Amino acid sequence: MASASLLKTSPVLDKTEFVKGQSLRLPSVSVRCHPAAPSALTVRASSYADELVKTAKTIASPGRGILAMDESNATCGKRLASIGMENTEANRQAFRTLLVSVPGLGEYISGAILFEETLYQSTVEGKKMVDVLVEQNIVPGIKVDKGLVPLAGSNNESWCQGLDGLASRSAAYYQQGARFAKWRTVVSIPNGPSALAVKEAAWGLARYAAISQDNGLVPIVEPEILLDGEHNIDRTFEVAKQVWAEVFFYLAQNNVMFEGILLKPSMVTPGAECKEKATPQQVADYTLSLLRQRIPPAVPGIMFLSGGQSEVEATLNLNAMNQSPNPWHVSFSYARALQNTCLKTWSGRPENVKAAQDALLVRAKANSLAQLGKYTGEGESDEAKKGMFVKGYVY
């Protein structure tokens, strides 16, 4: 008889049990199946199942979201160059120390995505970055993909590399204190997207997610629809609908436990070069409609990326999505939309650290209020209203 391994009951789950590996496209299992017939539903329950669910629920807690500070050393160098600083390990360490040690940050931030260097790095005071985060009740996470490379046979599109050796790396990251992971792949609307690029993106995310869960890390699934292009919001909606369908189909095919993942999608917006701009309410309507059509309620949290929106724009859009209850925790996983004003305020000067940390806390609190649907947008600085879209942006 076809069988499915049942996960242990978790105190943070409403349901008493969950069948791992269920597929939305598989036929229902009949008890009259031949005993010797192989079953597509026979799976091994992860020994980390309960912990994965608890970690995901912790990150997706009310009024909190994720600080994405996982920029590669090269990208971090670009950020430092914008304030006239050299790209050295000491300077990267100084800025990352500033970010993780903001007093009270854990009230608004539940998780922080780190680059590998940061996961093993200490603060300028000699304390492990991971320990500083844990003391603030912030769950440490880790970027595990190896970046985008050209996808042969496509329309100048990309695929994300990093599956080779991922299991052993993930196990090491867990031992170092990471409890969730992130893998970012992208889909370009101006370049298609081709069926090949969409399938490659979805399959890569699914394999990564399965490997992460098998090693105790909650996978953040990030299928980013790039802002590049002149397309309108309806075109974004149609492409995202296709991409999200493929992603969740392959997640199910790879026996990924939906209660133990977090989704980090793009908001449904017009292309950055589209003349028809969308209001926060329009962005919310389109995005929530798509979520309801494509995302199972079992997924604990939807942690939106900002994708080059201004700090204020990203917060206003998130706030609009939280004006009524949702089946998921709808929140944020922002990098530039949390760090930009903070970085400019700091400018590499020790005497500016306190002011820079205050600036980060202002943004974190604003997005916390947006997650609760209580953000007003009053008193925002001109810097926070500046758009940050970069054509062809690379992490």
Return the structure tokens found at 30: 């009949």
Q: Is 222 one of the annotated active-site residues of the chain? A: yes
Cβ atoms of 226 and 267 closer than 8 Å? no
Can you tell me which residue has the tokens 């993942």? 261
**In angstroms, how far is CA 60 from the centroid of its own chain?**
12
CB-neighbour burial class of residue 282 (10 A; exposed 0-12, middle 13-18, buried 19+): middle
Supply 325's token pair.
Answer: 């209850």
Distance, in Å, from the CA atom of 46 to the CA atom of 256, rounded to the nearest integer, reads: 10
On whether the CB atoms of residues 253 and 51 are closer than 8 A, the answer is no
CA 181/CA 142 separation, integer angstroms: 5
| In contact, 378 and 316? CB cutoff 8 Å | no
DSSP string, 219-250: EEEEEEE---SS--HHHHHHHHHHHHHHHHHH
Catalytic residue among 222, 246, 259, 380: 222
- Give burial (CB, 10 Å; 0-12/13-18/19+) of 313: buried
Q: Which of 20, 54, 143, 264 is catalytic?
A: 264
Tokens 């020994």, residue located: 47
Contact call for residues 180 and 141 (beta carbons, < 8 A):
yes
- Of the candidates 388, 209, 226, which has an alpha carbon nearest to the alpha carbon of residue 313? 388
Q: Is 264 designated active site? A: yes
Catalytic residues: 222, 264
